[in-house]
Amino acid sequence: MMSASTKFSSVPANHSQAPLDAAIDGTDKRDRILDAAQSLFVRYGVKRTSIDEVAREAGIAKGTVYLSFKSKAELFAAIADLLCANTLADVQRIALETTPLTTRLVGILDRYIGATHRLVAQSPHIAELTASKEALSAAAFDALDRRIRSLLSALLGEAEITHDEATDMILAAGMGTLYTGDDAEQPYRARLTAMIDTLVAGLGRDAKG
């Protein structure tokens, strides 16, 4: 559930750590650690990344990492939480836009499903950050899924679409459309728009009937 536009910070391995470590406050240190860990996890995978490497990438002392995160597992979970929080913030913003229902539904599905798929395709290691089978991240991604479903249900309800399976249909359209052609953003959204238009029209007729 990361945005394809996500940027990762990188600090050279020979960067002088002590002055930088002393110059940044606790919140900034935590952010630097998360940025560094995410960058390394994407490039090399969670298993191949050590706390030493995270500290070096962030330009801070190893002990400082342990002040914020007791283990690599806890760091992994924090990144999952951050990814989910960023995704949720984006879809909530999209939901509040003054655009047609189909446009908002497509935007939400592209952010939640499409962008994540495209980013995973760029690196075989990103799947480690988003795999729900990972116990440490499962709770975060399960909570995100519930929030997305609730938000979609509310948007459909505003359009008087209350079919019991409407939300599942919308999510299935978002997932299935990935595999019916080019999964790049523009063609994916174009196919998805056609699919959602058809679904919304059909569900709307059912509601009126």
Instruction: Compute the mean pLDDT over every residue in the chain, rounded to the nearest whole number.
Output: 83
Answer yes or no: do 84 and 146 share one domain. Answer: yes
- pLDDT, tens only, 43-68: 888 888 999 999 999 999 999 999 99
Give the percent of the chain with pLDDT over 90: 55
Band (pLDDT 50/70/90 cuts) for residue 18 is: very low
Please say if the pLDDT value at position 15 is more than 60. Answer: no
Range of the domain at 25: 17-74
Answer yes or no: do 116 and 193 share one domain. Answer: yes
Please say if the pLDDT value at position 7 is more than 60. Answer: no
pTM (predicted TM-score): 0.79
Q: How far is 51 from 37, CA to CA, in rounded Å? A: 8
CATH of the domain at 67: 1.10.10.60
Overall number of domains in the chain: 2
Answer yes or no: do 202 and 101 share one domain. Answer: yes
5 domain residue, yes or no: no
Asked if 125 and 44 count as a contact pair (C-beta separation under 8 A), the reply is yes
Answer yes or no: do 137 and 39 share one domain. Answer: no
100 domain residue, yes or no: yes
Answer yes or no: do 151 and 87 share one domain. Answer: yes
Answer yes or no: do 38 and 118 share one domain. Answer: no
Answer yes or no: do 57 and 84 share one domain. Answer: no
Answer yes or no: do 88 and 166 share one domain. Answer: yes
Answer yes or no: do 38 and 88 share one domain. Answer: no
Please say if the pLDDT value at position 17 is more than 60. Answer: no
Asked if 54 and 65 count as a contact pair (C-beta separation under 8 A), the reply is yes
Answer yes or no: do 70 and 35 share one domain. Answer: yes
23 domain residue, yes or no: yes
Answer yes or no: do 100 and 184 share one domain. Answer: yes
**Residue 27 or residue 38, greater confidence:** 38
